Amino acid sequence: MTTPGEPRRNLLYLLPVLVFAGLAGFLYQGLYLHPSEIPSPLIGKPAPAFDLPAVEGLPGGLSRADLEGKVSLVSVFASWCGPCRLEHPLLMALAEKKRLPIYGISYKDRPEDSRGWLQSLGNPYDKIGADRDGRVGFDWGVYGVPETYLIDRQGNVAFKVVGPLTPEVLESQVLPLAARLMK
C-alpha cells in the first residue's frame, strides 16, 4: 500500500536524526574549544600607550616607544604566578637565540620579589617595566598571567598567548608569525 505522500514522510522521519547529528557535531567540536582563551580585541590594533618605571633596583623601564620599529615579544609575568615559572626556561632559551627582543611587564609584583625571581631563574628580558597596580595590564586586557604578546614593526599587537608559552605554541605559531612580520 503505497501512497504518493509516503517518500516525503520518510524524509520527515529522518529529520530528527539529522538534527541530532548536527547538534552532536557542534557539541563534539565544542569539546576541543578553549573557553578560557578569550580572543583579544587588541589583535591588529596598536599596542596601548604606556610608560612604566623600572622594577626598583633594576635598570630600564618600559614604554610604548620601545615597541616601535621592530618585531618584539612582550611578556606579562609575576613572581607569584606559578605557570610563569613553567614558561620561564622557554623564554631564557629564546633570549639566548637573540631572534627578537623580549620585553617584560612585571605585573602586580613587589620589586624585591621580581628581583629575586630574575636572580634565581635568570633574566630573559631586554627591558622590564613594573606595573605595580595592574593599570597598564588592564589597558592590555590582561586577565591572567602569564600572557605573551607579539608586536609588529608598527607597534601593533599581532598575536596573544594567554597562559604559559609552550614549545608547540612558540614553534608552530609565535615564531613563524614573527618571522613573517620581520620580512
Site for another protein, residues 29 to 58, rule: CB under 8 A: 35-36, 38-42
Count how many residues are written for the chain. Answer: 183
> From residue 93, how far is each of 13, 69, 100 by CA, in Å?
60, 24, 12
DSSP secondary structure letters along 137-156 = HHHTT--SSSEEEEE-TTSB
Q: How far apart are CA 165 and CA 94, in angstroms?
A: 11
Q: What is the CA radius of gyration of the chain?
A: 23
Alpha carbon 148 to its chain's center:
4
| Closest to another protein by CB, 68 or 139 | 139
144 touches another protein by CB under 8 A: yes
| Closest to another protein by CB, 3 or 120 | 3
| Closest to another protein by CB, 107 or 125 | 107
123 touches another protein by CB under 8 A: no
Q: Shortest distance, CB of residue 155 to another protein, whole angstroms?
A: 17
Rounded to 5 degrees, what are φ and ψ at 45? -110, 160
139 touches another protein by CB under 8 A: yes
> Are 145 and 78 in contact, with CB atoms under 8 Å apart?
yes
| Closest to another protein by CB, 51 or 171 | 51
119 touches another protein by CB under 8 A: no
Which residue of 6, 21, 112, 143 would you call a contact of another protein, by CB under 8 A?
A: 143
Give the footprint of another protein on this chain (CB under 8 A): 5, 12, 15, 35-36, 38-42, 108, 134, 138-141, 143-144
